[in-house]
Structure 1
Amino acid sequence: MTIIAFNRYWVVRWPWVLINLLVLALLLGLSFWQWQRAAEKTQTLARIANWQQQGAVDIARLTTINTTVRDGVQMDFIGRWLAPMVWLVDNKMVNGRIGYDVLIAVEDDSASVDSVALLVNLGWVAAPTQRDFLPAVDIPPELRVQGIFRTRITGVLLGTNIENKGVWPMRIQQVNIESLSLQLNRTLVQGLTYQEKNSPFLIHYQPVILPPERHKAYALQWFLLAIAVIVISLLASARKRPQGIEL
């Protein structure tokens, strides 16, 4: 099929047009997705900065904050480890080495017996060479919890979540508040605090890995590629007007 426009012949091949439209839609979709990610990261950073200005809280104060706005709250209190429970979150890569995140449950040192507990990610520990063995972890009975509380803690489940062999620590695939609460026989706050200071393990958590500016750059990149597809398609289908033919 040939179309005459702008003093040129345009050869239209419908299979080629459909392929180009699909590629164009994909590139524009990726650009829009990256732009959305940038907006989400901007909101997250603003929320965290706002909570930092308001100051840190303990578990009791955290539970009074509406669950829909808790994400990013700064925590600072003396916690008592609910021994002997230690969970090792599997498949955590740090500096090119595989290992585990060390997860414990704590209660406020001044809390009553029936108060809620809080999950704390103390950081990373390297995995032994043989997977059948778990790393030895030394948890202090009391520690100062200083970190950021996050409500989005979903992970990838590769099999049975908790490898319960009757001894501690136990390996888990992802943090599931309900299952850990049942195992602990204690109500847990819906969320996870990532320790940011004074941990016996390697602290590696970052609330935002890629900044909003990086996502915007990716969005622009995909958008420019979409424009390039349009330009190349038009150039490939354009034909010069034959001599002696009036359009």
Structure 2
Amino acid sequence: MSGFRRPSWWALLLTVAGALLFVRLGVWQLHRADFKDDLLRRYAAAAAAPLQDFAGVADTPPADGFPRVKVDGHYLADRVYLLDNPKHDRRGGVQVYAPLALDGHSPLLLVDLGFLPGNGSDKPPQVPPLPTGKVSLQGLYVPPPPVGFEMGGNALARQTQWPKSSIFLDPAQVAADLGRGLYPRVLALDPDPAAIYERERNLDFSSMPPARHRAYAFQWFTFALAAVVILLVVHRKRKPRKSDSAKVDDVP
């Protein structure tokens, strides 16, 4: 360390504290990436899992699981919701949701019918009529779509015609709009080649996928390294310039 000056205690403390914080944030981002990778694997595996009793998971679903269930009931066929999320802009379509009244149960189950491709215009695609009689459905019992800030507040409350459209589908707003409680999760129907809807088996990590967590981890680790490098650069001893040495030699 002969080429470096001894740093002050506060500079050393600040550098160590900052580097440790950046490393901790980087490790946390790596853990989040691994957690989401594991969720994606279990979500894909759940598609082939045996059916479970919906009553056993309806109100208290497993926090880290996606039960595959079967339910019987009837649609509120005139109460359809369209998720016109920005992530659909490239395809020009909507995600379609409809409430299902289960036999002998008061809460409604929101059903994710799937993605309905657009028709090439700015208007939402025409939603096919839903069956009005009793239906038997099966699919994954998954968390509702993520919500965010929507300009203007509750878009559903401002609409008087159905289907209603929103860029976010807040379960609390849907429940208030329907005047009935909802189950905490939604039913994502199993893929059906004969259905007009496209049903993809993936989780919505569009805002923060595992790869982005790893990119942020690399960024935090880079900050930690930069803090150490800055400390070394600032406290590096400077060699005297030749002009300064010559002036010293000229002094009698």
TM-based fold match above 0.5? yes
Choose the corresponding residue for 1:160, options 153, 157, 164.
153
- Residue of structure 1 equivalent to 2:51: 56
**What's the secondary structure of 2:174's corresponding residue?**
helix
Q: How many residues align?
A: 231
What is the percentage of aligned positions where both structures have the same residue? 25
1:136 is displaced (CA, Å) by 1.4
- Residue of structure 1 equivalent to 2:142: 150
Choose the corresponding residue for 1:137, options 118, 122, 127.
127
Choose the corresponding residue for 1:7, options 2, 8, 12.
2
- Residue of structure 1 equivalent to 2:110: 119
TM-score, normalised relative to structure 2 = 0.67
Instruction: Provide structure 1 residue ranges, at least 5 long, that are not aligned to the other structure.
Output: 1-5, 243-247
Q: Which has the higher strand share?
A: 1
Provide closer, same or farther for how the CA distance between residues 11 and 61 of structure 1 changes in structure 2, counting only shifts above 3 A.
Answer: closer
- Residue of structure 2 equivalent to 1:32: 27
Counterparts of residues 199-238 of structure 1 (less than 5 Å): 199-204=195-200, 206-207=202-203, 209=205, 215-216=213-214, 219-220=217-218, 222-224=220-222, 226-231=224-229, 233-235=231-233, 237-238=235-236
- Residue of structure 1 equivalent to 2:173: 179
Answer whether contact 1:123 1:201 (CA < 8 A) is retained.
yes
Measure the CA separation in 2 of the matches of 1:233 and 1:170. Answer: 58
Measure the CA separation in 2 of the matches of 1:134 and 1:155. Answer: 20
1:38 is displaced (CA, Å) by 2.4
> Which amino acid letter does the alignment assign opposite residue 56 of structure 1?
L
Measure the CA separation in 2 of the matches of 1:208 and 1:165. Answer: 26
User: Root-mean-square deviation (CA), in Å?
Assistant: 4.1
Measure the CA separation in 2 of the matches of 1:36 and 1:60. Answer: 33
Instruction: Provide structure 2 residue ranges, at least 5 long, that are not aligned to the other structure.
Output: 241-252
**What's the secondary structure of 1:107's corresponding residue?**
strand
